[in-house]
Homo-oligomer: A and B are copies of this chain.
Amino acid sequence: MKDLVSRCPIEEVMQIMSGRWPTLLIYYLKQGTKRFSDLRRDNPTISHKMLTLELRKLEDAGIVERTEFEGYPLRVEYDLTSAGLKLVPLLDALGNWWETVEAGPAHASTSPVKLSQK
């Protein structure tokens, strides 16, 4: 029973993008149209339950579009929506930022206890 609408848009985004899968799925969908089984192959450690749940969430968020084709061994295609495409560079920016942090100055893991005095 989480409040679906929070006061802050950033919280709402994080509610959707949190966890290991959303960014990964977006990464693979960025490569083009994917089917359910393609996405499972792309990321073999996700379970089908998780994949359906995460895809549904991204669909509800308007990031992913689901297209179901009538038929026999039922076919479903997943794509990024235009909104989803616009999200990609923002995630890339986060990744780039993180690389500068990692490389950044004095990631002092030497002193387990930090003490300062003013």
Contacts and interface: CB of A to CB of B under 8 A. Distances in A.
Interface of A: 8-15, 17-20, 22-24, 27, 61-63, 66-70, 83, 86-87, 90-102, 104, 107, 113-118
A90 B92 contact: no
Interface residues of chain A: helix, strand, loop or mixed (majority): helix
Q: Give the number of copies in the complex.
A: 2
A95 to B, nearest CB: 4
Given A62-B104, A68-B115, A117-B70, A94 B10 contact: yes
Nearest to A84: B101
A104 B9 CA distance: 14
B107 A62 contact: yes
11 contacts: A9-B102, A13-B95, A14-B17, A14-B18, A15-B20, A17-B18, A61-B101, A63-B101, A68-B113, A68-B116, A90-B94
Contacts of A99: 9
A15 B23 CA distance: 11
A91 B18 contact: no
